[in-house]
Chain A
Amino acid sequence: MVSTFHGLETSKRSILTQATALHTVGNNISNAATEGYSRQRVNLKSADPVYVPGFTRLNTPGQIGTGVEYSSVTRVRDSYLDMQYRRENQDLGHFTVVNATMESIQTIINEPSDSGLSAVMNNFWNSLEVLNRDPNLLSARVDFIGNAKNLVDTFNKIGTSLTTLENDIDSNVEIKLNEANSLLEAIAEMNEVIRKTEVLGDNANDYRDQRDLLVDQLSKLVDVQYTEDVNGMMNIFVGGAQVVAGNEATPIAGPDTVTGGEVSGYAKAKEEIELVRSQLNALVDTFVRGEIDITMPNGYRTSTIMVAENDVQVTDANGVVTNYAAGTSIPAGSNITSSVTFKVNGFNGVHQLGYSINTPPETGLSFFVSSDNSVPFTINNIAVNGDILADTNKVAASGQYTMNGTAMETVKGNSGVALALAMLRDAKFTFPSTMTALSSGTTDDYFRAFVSDLGTRSQIALTGLDRSKNMVDNVEIRRQSVSGVSIDEELTEMLRFQHAYNAAARNLTAVDEMLDRIINGMGTVGR
C-alpha cells in the first residue's frame, strides 16, 4: 500500500519534469540561430519505483512507479565531426590567404593588358627598330630614351608594390598571432569554468559550446591539436608546442612554428612574393649583364683591343685586307669589314661598343646603371644612366668612326650598334636554372614563361581554396545535422511535453478531488 499523497507526488514530479523539459525546448528554440550552439536534451527516466527489495518491503504486489525524473541534461555533439571540421578549417584559412595574395600579385604584374610590362617591353624594342631606321633622327632618340625610362619605371614600380605587399603581410601576421593568443587566453578561462562546473557533477553544456566555438575560430588561424583530460579541460598544441595547459595559456612563440591555418598561409604568401621577385630580378640582371653572343653583320670599328668569336677581315685606310682568325686579338682602331661576332655582357655590353654623337665622341657608356651602385641588377635598383637621360646624343647607336687627324669622329649615319641592340630581342640568354625551367630563351620567352608559371600557381591556390571551402561546408552541414536545432522537431517535442504537463495537471486535480472526498467527505454521516 502506498502513501496518501503518492498520487500528488507523482503528478508533482511529472509537472516539474515536463516543465524542465519545456524550458530546455524553449532554450533550444531561442538558440536556433546561435553560432556553435548544440541542441540540448533532457534525458527523462522513470523514478525509482517502490518498494526497494529488502526485508522492510510491504506485502502488497509491487513495484509501483513513482513518476518521472530527469537524469541529465546533455548536448548532442559529435566530437569526431568537430575534429574533421577543425582540420579542414586550417586548410581553408591557409588557402584563403594564399589565394588573396596571388590575386594581388597578379594585379601588380597586370598581364594581359595594354599597360603591363609586356606592352612596355614591346614599345622599348620597337623604338630601337625606329632608332635603327634613322639613327640621326632626334625624335627617334628621344622616343627610345622615353621608352627605356618607362621600362625602368615599370620595373621599379613592380618592386615597390611587391615590397608593400610584403609589409602588409608582416603586419597581418602580427595581428593574427595576437588574435590567436587572445583566443588561447579565452579557452584557458573556459577550461577553468568547465572544470569547476563538472567537478560538481553537472554537464557544462553551454560553456563547452562556447569553448568549441573558440577552438573552431582558432583552427582557422593556426594548426591545432587537442586532447581533453579527465577534468574536462582541453590541452591545446600549436606547431608541436603546448600552448594551453589546463587553465594556463602560453602565447604562441612565432609564426615560423605554425604549420596550418592563416598564419602558415601568410608564410607561404611571402614565399610566393619572394619567388616572383627573384624571377623578375633574374630577368633584369640577365638582360642587362648576361653573357651573350652578338653579331654585327655590317662590321665594326674597334677602339680597344678586341677578340672576335669568328674569322673576320680588317680593311685598313689603304684598302689592304688582313684576316684575323677567331680568338686572336684585333688591334684598336681596326676597321672590321666583315660580319663579326663578339661575346658581350648583356645590353650594357652591346651599348658599350657604340660611339655617341656628341663631341668628342664617347664609347664604353653603360646604358643601364644601378641606382644604389650595387650588383646584381634588380627590379628595384635598375635605372637609366643619368648622363644619357640628360643628353640624347650619348645614345651610342653608331659602330663606326673616322679619324680626322688625331680626333675621333663618329659616323652618324651608322646604326651598327643600334641594330645589334635591336637584335638582342631575339638573342637567347641563359637564365639561372634555379629560377626557371627555361634554360635558354629570349627575354620575351622568359617573361611569357614567368606569367604562365604565375598563372598556374595562382590556379593551384584557387583550386585549393574552392576545395577546402567545399569540404568545410560539407562537414559543417553534417555537424548541423547532428547538433543543429530543427524548429519542427522542437515544436513537436513541445507538443509532447505540453500534453504530458496538461495531463499531469489534470491527474493532480483528480487526486486532489479524491483526497478532498476522503478528508472532507468521509466520517461525516448525516451532516
Chain B
Amino acid sequence: MRITSVMKNTQLLRNLRNNNTEMLDWQNKLSTGQKISKPSDDPVGVGYQMRYTTELARNEQYLANAKTGYGWLSQTDSVLQQANSILQRLNTLTNQAANGTVTPEVREQIRLEVLQLREQMVTVGNSTYDGRHIFNGQMTDVRPYNSDTAADDVTDSGVYYLSVSPSVQVAVSLTGAQVFGEPGADDNIFKLFDDIAQQLEDDDQDAISGSLDKIMAGIDKINLNLAETGARMNRFELVESRIGDEKVSLTTLRSSVADVDMADAIVQLQLQQNVLQASLSMGAKISQMSLLDYIR
C-alpha cells in the first residue's frame, strides 16, 4: 500500500486527537473526583447515584424529625416527673389530714397548700415545648387548662405524628385526657384536687381517706405515661442510630458508583501522558524524513 505524506499527517493528527481527548477526560475526572460528569458517561450508574443522593437527603430530614421527637418527649418526661412529685406531696398532705387528730388551723393550712399544688398542676398541664402546648393534641397554639375550670376542660384528642422513614409515622404526643383524665370524670386529677380541698373544708374524714386511693391511682397513671414516654424516647434513639448507620452505608455505596479511584486515575493519566509523548516524538521524527534530505 502506498504511503503518502498526507496520510502520515492525517494519522498523526488523528492519534494526537484521540490521546488528547483521553487525557482531557482523565484530567477532568481527577480534578472533580467524580466519575460521572454527565448522564451519558454511565446511564445506569447515574440513576444509582441520584437515588443514593436522594436517600441521604431524606435521611437528614428523618434525623431532624427524630431529634425533634426526642426533644418533645424529653420535655414531656420532665414535666411528668414534676407531676409525680406534686402528687407525692399531695399524698403526704392528705395522709396527714386523714389523721383525725389534726386541728382546724392545720387543716386550713393543708387546704391552702393543696390549692397551691393544684395551681402547680395546672401549670404542668399547660407546659410547652418550642412554644407549642404538649398536652393539647393538635391545637398546640391554645392553652388547654384554665385554672378555674381545669377539671372540666376538654383537650384536643389529636396526636402529633412524625415520619422516621418513608410511610412510617411515630406518635409523639400524649393527650391531656391520657395524662390527667377525661374532663368531668371521677378519676380526673384536677377534680381530685378540687374534691380534696372541698373535703378539707367540710372536714369529711371518710371522704378524705377515700381520696387516698384515688391519689394512688393518679400516681399510677402518671407512672404509666412516664413508661410510655420512655419507650417512645428509646424508639427515637434507635431511629437516630439506625439513620447514622444508614448514612455510612449509603455514602459508601454512593462513593463506589460516583467517585473516582484516585490511584487508578493517576496511573491512567500517566499512561496517557506517556503515549502522547511517544506519539509526538515519533511523529516529529518521521515527518521530517524525506528523500529531499538525501538528494544533492
Contact = CB atoms under 8 A, between A and B. Distances in A.
B140 interface: yes
Contacts of A168: none
B31 interface: no
Nearest to A460: B40
A486 B5 contact: yes
Interface stretch (B103-111, B162-170, B238-246, B265-273): B162-170
Contacts of B10: 473, 476-477, 480
B39 A455 contact: yes
A132 B60 CA distance: 15
A130 B64 CA distance: 9
Interface string A421-449: 01101100000000000000000100111
B160 A487 contact: no
A23 to B, nearest CB: 19
A411 B133 CA distance: 13
A459 B40 contact: yes
Contact of A129 (B46, B61, B159, B292): B61
A112 B40 CA distance: 11
B50 A451 contact: yes
Interface string A119-149: 1001001100110111010000000000000
Given A297-B169, A412-B140, A413-B138, A112 B46 contact: yes
Contacts of B42: 455
Interface residues of B, number: 57
B161 A452 contact: no
A481 B2 contact: yes
A459 B41 CA distance: 7
Given A455-B41, A485-B5, A132 B163 contact: yes
Interface string B241-264: 000000000000000001000000
Contact of B46 (A413, A415, A455): A455
Contact of A481 (B7, B49, B50, B61): B7
Contact of B43 (A413, A455, A481): A455
B68 interface: yes
Nearest to A454: B39
Contacts of A175: none
Contacts of A449: 47
The CB with the most chain A CB atoms within 10 A, among B138, B156, B290, is that of: B138
B115 interface: no
A111 interface: yes
Interface in B210-235: none
A242 to B, nearest CB: 34
A199 interface: no
A487 B5 contact: yes
Given A481-B3, A482-B2, A484-B2, A491 B291 contact: yes
B38 to A, nearest CB: 4
Contacts of B6: 32-33, 480, 484-485
Contacts of B207: none
B102 interface: no
B283 to A, nearest CB: 15
B7 A477 contact: yes
A400 B138 contact: yes
Nearest to B140: A413
B65 interface: yes
A166 B287 CA distance: 45
Contacts of A476: 10
B65 A419 contact: no
Nearest to A427: B167
A449 B48 CA distance: 10
Contacts of B140: 136, 412-413
Nearest to A451: B39
A413 B61 contact: no
A495 B295 contact: yes
B39 A458 contact: yes
A297 B161 contact: yes
Contacts of B58: 122, 125-126
A169 to B, nearest CB: 19
A119 B292 CA distance: 64
A372 interface: no
A302 interface: no
B275 interface: no
A415 B68 CA distance: 15
Nearest to A110: B38
Contacts of A482: 2
Contacts of B54: 118, 122, 444
A462 interface: yes
Contacts of A458: 38-40, 43
B132 A456 contact: no
Interface string B138-174: 1111000000000000001011111100110100000
Nearest to A33: B6
B181 to A, nearest CB: 16
A284 interface: no
B37 to A, nearest CB: 8
Interface in B1-27: 1-7, 10-11, 14
Nearest to B131: A136
B139 A411 contact: yes
B132 A134 contact: yes
Nearest to B57: A122
Interface string A45-65: 000000000000000000000
Contacts of B141: 136, 412-413
B138 A477 contact: no
A398 to B, nearest CB: 8
Contacts of A489: 2
Contacts of B166: 425-426
Contacts of B43: 452-456, 458-459
B202 interface: no
A256 interface: no
A109 interface: yes
B40 A462 contact: yes
A229 interface: no
Contacts of B14: 473
A163 interface: no
B136 to A, nearest CB: 8
B82 interface: no
Contacts of B169: 297, 419
B292 to A, nearest CB: 7
Interface in B181-217: none
B156 A32 contact: no
7 contacts: A118-B50, A122-B58, A413-B138, A414-B139, A451-B46, A485-B5, A487-B292
Interface of B: 1-7, 10-11, 14, 34, 36, 38-44, 46-47, 49-51, 53-54, 57-58, 60-62, 64-65, 68, 130, 132, 136-141, 156, 158-163, 166-167, 169, 258, 290-292, 295
Given A112-B36, A136-B141, A298-B161, 9 more contacts: A122-B54, A129-B65, A411-B139, A411-B158, A413-B137, A413-B156, A414-B139, A448-B47, A484-B5
Q: 5 tightest CB-CB pairs across the interface, nearest first?
A: A455-B39, A484-B4, A455-B43, A458-B40, A413-B140
